[in-house]
Amino acid sequence: FIIGGSGPRRVLIRAVGPGIARFGVASPLANPTLSLWRDGTLIGANDDYSTGTNVDTTLSQLFATVGAFPLTLGSRDAALAVELEPGSYTALIRGSTATETGEVLLEVYFLN
């Protein structure tokens, strides 16, 4: 995805696997991990948005702010909020293992 304009934008990015099962998706990715890249440089990453190390406790509030459906606390969905300069970015989503497969929803929201 591309951030346009002349100044930085705060962005919410979600990789939703388990959270889409309730919408009838038959084979969601059980444990998506999300990493954000720009020009070969890792900008940020997340696995299990509400547990583990470096948890952003504001994410659930941000979901509501942008009108995104809520994710269950403790789910294995991934999300991150970052401030990005104008340019192109790559959001990479993987399963927790090399053989894990399934469907995943990638969402990108502008927060400002």
How would residue 73 be classed by pLDDT, with cut points 50, 70 and 90?
Answer: very high
The answer to pTM > 0.75 is yes
Per-residue confidence (pLDDT) for residue 86, from 0 to 100: 98
How would residue 54 be classed by pLDDT, with cut points 50, 70 and 90?
Answer: confident
How would residue 78 be classed by pLDDT, with cut points 50, 70 and 90?
Answer: very high
Per-residue confidence (pLDDT) for residue 55, from 0 to 100: 86
Three-class secondary structure of residue 27 per DSSP? coil
Q: In sequence order, what DSSP letters do the residues of 50-87 get, joined into one string?
A: TSSSS--TTHHHHHHHHTPPP--TT-S-EEEEEEE-SE
CA distances from 57 to 42, 48, 79 (A): 22, 12, 11
Per-residue confidence (pLDDT) for residue 11, from 0 to 100: 97
Three-class secondary structure of residue 42 per DSSP? strand
Q: CA-based Rg of the chain, rounded to a whole angstrom?
A: 14
Dihedral angle sign, alpha carbons of residues 72, 75, 77, 81: positive
What's the average model confidence in pLDDT over 15-39? 97
